[in-house]
Structure 1
Amino acid sequence: MKETEFDGNRYAFDIDVETVQAVPAYTEGIREIVVSGIPIYQTGDFKTVENLLLQGSDGDE
């Protein structure tokens, strides 16, 4: 994947796997990754989590 280019640049990638129960403890870190990352594959579940994280960024947590 490091060979793949996005907007003419190559990016390193990190894989992070968490249980659903762990998400509240890492909300800010996960939000930062989701908001600043470039998804190369998305599922409906990912979009659901992304939407929840973006809603929480308004201070409504």
Structure 2
Amino acid sequence: MLKIHKWRHSFAIHCLKNGMDLRKLQKILDHTSLSTTQIYLDVVAQDIQRKYEKIWN
């Protein structure tokens, strides 16, 4: 079960980093609530912040 969760998480992050619409991802992951899918946006934002700091600091 843990491997499936990691795959879903990695898939979601990959999709968002490559511009997938959050609503489309919600449907693919079969989340009933958009707020569940929005959790992945925090991970993407943190990754962007780290990359920004690496370049500009």
Normalised by the length of structure 2, the TM-score is 0.34
Whichever structure has more strand as a proportion of its residues is: 1
Going by fraction, where is helix more abundant, 1 or 2? 2
Higher relative contact order (CA 8 A, sep 6+): 2
